[in-house]
Structure 1
Amino acid sequence: MLGSLYLLWLVAMTTSLVSKAQILTPQDYEEEDDEEVTTPSVAVPCDYDRCRHLQVPCKELQKVGPVACLCPGLSREDQHPDPPRLGEVQIVAEEGCAVAHWCAPFSPVSHYWLLLWESNGAPQKSGPLNATVRRAELKGLKPGGSYVLCVVAANEAGESHVPGADVEGPENWADPSFGPCRKLIMPPRPLTLVYAAVGVGTVLVLLSCAALVWHFCLRERCGCPRRQGNAQASDAL
């Protein structure tokens, strides 16, 4: 009697444990795999180049992708921006223009502009350029002219420092090897050189012809010394 009761109790306990147990299905295994895949990854530097023309701001690049990328450190927005770095300046003598490239500073920038000194006096100031711009074209440069070009960055706190801005004229400006400014010397146009060479050659030819004409005219007027000596010898005979 006790054995049968013990057997019934054992069967009842086993049934209750089986009913309460949770059986893992293949779908449960897939959910666990998905949870492992969606683990947050390590942040990487943003694809941001401060010298690239039309570069998207780094803050906007951080919004793209599941994980925010890392931006380079910048100064505070309530401080004046650092000066940009003026890079290569391509001079096109045939068209009388130049294309300037620069790199953004490690500071918040709302816009840029260019300053151009041609001679003594106030510089010419370009219009505001978007913060994504890193290249601008300068037109109307005179052949053989000397200029000083500076790029200025600005934000709500103010504008970047321009070294040598108080110097009068590009002739008195010291050209640093690294900074926001550079001295430009426009070469003469190729056609101007050709015309100058043709003009010099023409002048030399005319001078040579004039010298020959003057020489023959002088001989005709004064007579040749050899002819005069021959004439006197024949008279003596």
Structure 2
Amino acid sequence: MLDSLSLLWLVAMTTSLVSKAQILTPQDYEEEDAESVTTPSAAVLCDYDRCRHLQVSCVELQKVGPVACMCPGLSREDQQPDPPRLGEVHIVAEEGRATVHWCAPFSPVNHYWLLLRESNGAPQKTGPFNATVRRAELNGLKTGGTYVLCVVATNDAGESHVPGADGEGPENWAGSSFGPCGKLIVPPRPATLVHAAVGVGTALALLSCAALVWHFCLRERWGCPRRQSRAQASEGL
């Protein structure tokens, strides 16, 4: 009798535990695994353009951005910066000035310089410009002059290399079209061309008048050969 009661009590307890237990289906296991696994967020590049004027450093963009972004790789700070790339140069011959644009190197930069050299003269240094600047203006250019222009980047380790600047002539500075240097040719002012054309036209007109005057003077002095031959023929008759 006691064994029967014990068996009934054990069956009742087992049924109660089974009814309260939560049965996990295969779908429940999949949902649990999906919640436990987190997908990594896609890498976002910083809105950094090394040719943009007044462009702040990419490190500053990482600090202010809502999401951590990625910057382009740079050389070490204890190394001299790579040469910048000279971009478009807009010349205003009437005012003797030019607007110079360049792109930053993939190196830490503190300042930029511009080197301007005419013929065999000494190079003139303009600047410095801070690291955000990508555009500067040159003044005092001579009309019809030819220059070699270079952009130099500097940091605590030194200055970027200028091709051909060590003891070579300015014609060797220009180098590659994607390098830091380029040739700058300032055309003559339009007013100068007009004055030159007027001068050439006036000189040609004066020469033509002088030739005509000289021709008529010779005719008056020596007479016309045809008239002399006709007069001699009439006298013979």
TM-score under structure 2 normalisation?
A: 0.79
- Cα RMSD of the aligned pairs, angstroms, is 2.6
In the alignment, the residues of structure 2 paired with residue 52 and residue 45 of structure 1 have an alpha-carbon distance, to the nearest angstrom, of 16
- Determine if the alignment matches structure 1 residue 157 to structure 2 residue 157: yes
Aligned residue pairs: how many? 209
SS in 2 for 1:148: strand
Name the residue aligned to 2:172.
Answer: 173
Q: CA deviation at 1:160?
A: 0.4
In the alignment, the residues of structure 1 paired with residue 194 and residue 66 of structure 2 have an alpha-carbon distance, to the nearest angstrom, of 62
In the alignment, the residues of structure 1 paired with residue 169 and residue 186 of structure 2 have an alpha-carbon distance, to the nearest angstrom, of 16
Name the residue aligned to 1:31.
Answer: none
In the alignment, the residues of structure 1 paired with residue 173 and residue 128 of structure 2 have an alpha-carbon distance, to the nearest angstrom, of 26
Query: AA paired with 2:194?
Result: V
In the alignment, the residues of structure 2 paired with residue 53 and residue 220 of structure 1 have an alpha-carbon distance, to the nearest angstrom, of 76
The 1:122–1:143 alpha-carbon spacing in structure 2 relative to 1, beyond 3 Å, is: same
Name the residue aligned to 1:53.
Answer: 53
- Determine if the alignment matches structure 1 residue 194 to structure 2 residue 197: no
Asked whether the equivalents of residues 118 and 169 of structure 1 are also in contact (C-alpha less than 8 Å), the reply is no
- Determine if the alignment matches structure 1 residue 138 to structure 2 residue 135: no
Q: CA deviation at 1:141?
A: 1.0
Asked whether the equivalents of residues 121 and 169 of structure 1 are also in contact (C-alpha less than 8 Å), the reply is no
In the alignment, the residues of structure 2 paired with residue 139 and residue 168 of structure 1 have an alpha-carbon distance, to the nearest angstrom, of 25
CA offsets per residue over residues 69-110 of structure 1, 9 Å max, x none?
111111111111000011111122222221111100000000
Name the residue aligned to 2:35.
Answer: none
CA offsets per residue over residues 151-196 of structure 1, 9 Å max, x none?
00001111100111124543x3263232000011111111111111
Asked whether the equivalents of residues 113 and 153 of structure 1 are also in contact (C-alpha less than 8 Å), the reply is yes
TM-score under structure 1 normalisation?
A: 0.79
Asked whether the equivalents of residues 83 and 153 of structure 2 are also in contact (C-alpha less than 8 Å), the reply is yes
Query: AA paired with 2:62?
Result: Q
In the alignment, the residues of structure 2 paired with residue 210 and residue 74 of structure 1 have an alpha-carbon distance, to the nearest angstrom, of 73
CA offsets per residue over residues 49-87 of structure 1, 9 Å max, x none?
000011111111111233221111111111110000111
The alignment-based identity, stated in percent, is 82
Query: AA paired with 2:172?
Result: W
Name the residue aligned to 1:12.
Answer: none
SS in 1 for 2:183: strand
Equivalences for residues 28-47 of structure 1 within 5 A = 41-47=41-47
Name the residue aligned to 1:220.
Answer: 220
Q: CA deviation at 1:127?
A: 2.0
Segments of structure 1 that go 5 or more residues without pairing to the other structure are 1-38
Segments of structure 2 that go 5 or more residues without pairing to the other structure are 1-38
Q: CA deviation at 1:147?
A: 0.5
In the alignment, the residues of structure 2 paired with residue 216 and residue 82 of structure 1 have an alpha-carbon distance, to the nearest angstrom, of 74
